[in-house]
Amino acid sequence: MTASHDIDHTHDPALRSWVASANTPDTDFPIQNLPLGMFRRAGTTGSFRPATAIGDQVLDLIGAAELGVLSDALGAVLRTCEGMGLNPLMSVGPDFRRQLRHELVAALNADAGPTSSQTLAPALTPLADVELTLPCRISDYTDFYTGIHHATTVGKLFRPDNPLLPNYKWVPIGYHGRASSIGVSGQTFRRPVGQTKAPDAETPSFGPCKRLDYELEVGALVGTGNESGQPIAIGDAERHLFGLVLLNDWSARDMQAWEYQPLGPFLAKSFATTISPWVVTMEALAPFRRAFTRPDGDPRPLPYLDSPANREQGAIAVQLEVHLQTRAMRDAGEAPTKLMCSDFAESYWTVAQMLTHHASNGCNMQPGDLFGSGTQSGPTPEQGGSLLELTQGGKQAITLPNGEQRTFLQDGDSVALVGRCEAPGRRSIGFGPCIGTVAPAVTG
């Protein structure tokens, strides 16, 4: 049985594709990546179909099957995804997904020759000419809190002497989020309206959020689920995971401060969440695995959250960045400016541990369920994964290259998350865009 973190011929850095744009050094989508998503041609109203991205092209996977490039068994599963999302492919397990990866590499690599390129030409569409949607039907969404640098920095804002609560280093903390408001990159959402209470006010007030923020996260999508009452062992967790996306968990900080005690986030989080449209599969991430370690003196995870494989390769190195473009910058034709960078490998809990803990009480996972990692900040102040951290709770404004300042997001601001995996001797891969834009609140 092959594990999702095993490296094989599909990861060979020397591999090249006959799709020329897949061979450029800066592409997110070389042949070693082959992320999965759902597309249709822009301007059409037909059903969304499963696809992979290769360079600056999108390959229609049903079309590829109909052209005889993919096996009949794969074609049958892919056809059930049309108009439904990738859930049917998720549910059949990692061996089938690995077969798809191998057959795609065989068809798209440069050695396949002109016959393959001519055969597949009708199934290719430029990325610029397609519309992308959510990669799957997401029925449940859980947001974790695995970024220890974020948890420590934010904790200090409210509890200077005790930033991390006693359970943080023992249990992957999370809360149940709202799946219905998850949107795909390109999402424009309204500034939320809700209750807030100023420190010097006797009563709360109701109105538009004044402290709107982003949160830089990584999302993990479940592949195969589990029966209710049946936990998922840490040694089996990787086989239940489908892949990763970028995730922006937009947050209304002033609403959150008033409502979150005693039961946690509610309306401050449920108004919008943005994810990237392409799922980078667990197989594609294999070359970027790292040892999962804890600082000296920190407790070792309890046995149900610990395994040799998780210790040796549980962490995944994804270089993360946040870019901001204001309305004024956009109107002036100015590019977004980078605000910070961090590494997902520094997450305090791995994706396998998140899944195992979630199912440890018998909770049944389903294909397409989404986990958010929590904000992935770095260890230094300039690596905060939210404006709450970068501005020290709104006390110190950020000055942008055009002279504008921000403590929190203003209407018209666009935030782009960037994720890229790099390792010595390996072909770099990326996640594609994860962009969201703030529109004015609806009032009255």
Of 5, 11, 149, 150, the catalytic one is 150
Using alpha carbons, select from 233, 373, 226 the residue that is nearest to residue 303: 233
Please say if 150 is a catalytic residue: yes
The partner residues of 358 in beta bridges, in order of sequence, read none
Ramachandran assignment for 431, one of left (phi > 0), alpha (psi -120 to 50 degrees), beta (any other): alpha
Using alpha carbons, select from 127, 161, 107, 176 the residue that is nearest to residue 28: 127
56 carries a ligand binding annotation: no
348 carries a ligand binding annotation: no
152 carries a ligand binding annotation: no
260 carries a ligand binding annotation: yes
Calpha distance 67→104 (Å, rounded): 13
In angstroms, the first-to-last Cα distance of the chain is: 59
The distance from CA 161 to its chain's CA centroid, rounded to whole angstroms, is 33
How would you label 233-260 residue by residue, b for 16+ Cβ within 10 Å and e otherwise?
ebebbbbbbbbbbbbbbbbbbbbbbbbe
Q: What are phi and psi of 390, to 5 degrees?
A: -65, -30
194 and 267 Cβ atoms separated by less than 8 Å:
yes
Specify the DSSP class assigned to residue 344.
G
- Residues whose CB is less than 8 angstroms from the CB of residue 345 and which lie 6 or more positions away in sequence, other chains included: 290, 315, 316, 317, 318
Angle, CA of 160, 165 and 170, to the nearest 5°: 145
343 carries a ligand binding annotation: no
334 carries a ligand binding annotation: no
Angle, CA of 396, 400 and 405, to the nearest 5°: 45
256 carries a ligand binding annotation: yes
Total Cβ atoms within 10 A of residue 197: 15
The partner residues of 60 in beta bridges, in order of sequence, read 51
142 carries a ligand binding annotation: no
141 carries a ligand binding annotation: no
- The binding site consists of 143, 145, 159, 215, 217, 249, 256, 260, 269, 273, 375
- The binding site for Mg(2+) consists of 249, 269, 273
- The binding site for Ca(2+) consists of 143, 215, 217, 249
Name the residues annotated as catalytic: 150
